[in-house]
A and B are shown apart, each in its own frame.
Chain A
């Protein structure tokens, strides 16, 4: 032990320094920012329990969407900017469940069940494409995602959905936002929810997200999951040890797409609406920023990064809005800071050494 004769205090300091460094500057800035926002909000007499409730609700709504980044990162295809693909599969499931007139849990799980085969199919095709564009997965993915959103805008108008809750009163196609009231709005958020110290805990949504995280965690401890991880970490080494790297990348992409589909349904039940047309376009960037804030990089990530990142990022959004509204009459400030924070964090990750070269 070379540190044996250093004082415990110095050792502790050094330990903290090393810990902070591995924790990463952006995360520290984000946490400081969040805490200062919290302090400001209490000074402005915005009830803190309400803020925390909203943070928990947002965590439950967004955790699965952020989780969708993880298999993609670990299987070596970098940030999953093709997330709109998964989201659209989920939305199709949701729309079909309304068309079939399902309600409550039946509607939610029916939507999940119907979106899964679509997501597997789309994920497989997308994974196949990503194998052909190694090195530029993120750029191609972004534009494939954008293109798919535009294509489906076409689809929402022309696909044969006729349920009166969704159709426009006049004209063709279904509405831009579809209310889930009486369908599956809040089915998870209100399940087993309880109040503690004025904070409302959406137990069902949190439990469902935790279940998804657990399944992914278990998967990455299975034989197939470990193979996928090593394919992502060092493809050449994995290839040499007999792993089919391309197949692993496709599997990772399928898993990400499926999680995206499930994620948007969890999100929609919390939000109370299905948002169609252009709405899914930028959701991929928010999920990417969340996991990066949590501490993931373009090549590594953990479940803890998903949870911490989602909580931090969405807590900032939740508290920034009322604070901004109280400080000035500028509602757009919150939206602007969301954009600056999320894109800034992605830029930071891109400018780090290593990554997807």
Chain B
């Protein structure tokens, strides 16, 4: 297995650069993480971070072809995502094209092509994207529907996907201002991984990104808010859902301070809902003869993917023959008494570590994980230590994590299927 060294450096304009060589395949990954997620949006511009992500694909001002065309014509692919605390843009290209794609990313960081026409078209595209994601059974479940149940503050509670009503009023000035404030080099991390020479790509980075003038960086906001004093419950009707469902959301410790706690919660999620004999499904099958589909995870989108606050989520889809209360009682009983066996823990660990290796074998996942760990935690090497963190979790840690969730009220979101007439 490779023991790649990661190089970290900051340019004079404040841009952070992360480079990791990996010569196992003739490809390279280039990612740019901007320290602007949907939590930092203004109340009347809900969805602007996501819309702006779309607009960045117009590429550099003055260019004839947009970013997709440029990257695809050199044989690569590219995409982007908008999360709570960052927006990331990533490209995977044949290794010989790495310099070109670095130039393209620097070009759109320096001066993106933002036009009224693109704002209009991309607002429609975002509307289509949201329609596709929301207009299906359990669309928007648990995210973004669970966030406003667990959280009170707009930053944490609002729908970061984008609110078509508010996006319709986004102006060119809004976008230029958004770019100016959040897309400065000192507010970003550039990550390059794969079949590259560190010195050579660093030279390209300095020649391209290095020429972008420094701009001030907005102060890092704190999104912390008090935990709910008692359980907050909400429900909604999903006309397409075939069965009732619910999601439980619980606040988790700050990932930056205690990544190990997130692994204990992740192992708990695995023991409760993963593998061939997940505890929750087996308990309810034993007690009621019914099959319930559970899933659980740490992190609204992914493990170690956001600053504080973030959540642990459990979802259940259950037959109408069982009430939400019956299923919740079983979850509570399991959390109260859970003592995982060594074998159980070992199996969940194997599953997690194998999934991690499989994920890191994908150039896009690797470059994005290194970049987000630099941006969120100043520690891209964390990616390589995850299997160890996973292996360090003990049965006692998992039991303690289960009790900690019980002690904390959290949020309950119920999905009511519409009775067919």
Chain B binds chain A: no
Give A contacts to B, CB under 8 Å: none
